[in-house]
Structure 1
């Protein structure tokens, strides 16, 4: 998963969005730090999550979301989580390689086969992330920002 981070950081920079990578089951300190980052933004935060499609991946997503939302909520901040990848639908749509679920992992799992996040080709991962980001943008606000930038460029050139 760490190999994806540079690509995701690059996509995030296009939108002025930060990218962070966790490692396995993050401890409470990491989750608290994530909540602190969300609270520092002074507005509603949406966390876009990429993880393996397996028992651990689903459980990690749920545990991370519950804990970060609770930490942020106790300080009056609002955080939402969205699973961007990997989903069962993506496994089918993109014909991703699968393996049977681990019989030693007793956590509940919605799928019948597992897939690692690294199985997503980089161009597809980038498209999924861009689509998730763009779905959150208000087109009118975006156009206003572009118009303001252009006006500022013209003013700077005039000087």
Structure 2
């Protein structure tokens, strides 16, 4: 199982992957992998998102500041179309394209069969 996680880019957000992994393990989730897909330091940089000062009261502040500096960014700062692209890309990268396409084709065939039966019933009513 792959868990895709989105968090603020701040001391707590950077710790959430570890925290979620710990919780899933504690509750017996079995085999899984957590991947943070947003908001990363690279995304903050490349998207030019507006920073704010980090809360120095956060117990994770010192570790975060040493690695990334004293500014944080809210996940909400990502433009909706960019967030949609990030999530869609992450999900589609995990999909078995052949299985997906086979299911799409099966659904199309089933719709055609249902329509054929409806047409037959309508013809009998005439």
TM-score (norm 2): 0.80
Q: CA RMSD in A?
A: 1.5
Q: Distance in 1 between matches of 2:27 and 2:84?
A: 30
Return 5+ residue gaps in structure 1 as ranges: 1-44
Structure of greater Rg: 2
Q: Which residue of 1 is the match for residue 55 of structure 2?
A: 102
Whether 1:129 and 2:82 are equivalent positions in the alignment is no
Higher relative contact order (CA 8 A, sep 6+): 2
| Higher helix proportion | 2
Q: How many residues align?
A: 112
Aligned to 2:20: 64
Flag structure 2 segments of 5+ consecutive residues without an equivalent: 118-126
Q: Equivalences for 1:3-22 in 2 at 5 Å? A: none
Contact 1:65 1:81 in 2 (8 A): yes
Encode CA deviations 1:76-114: one digit per residue, 9 max, x unaligned: x32221111100000011100112333333422231121
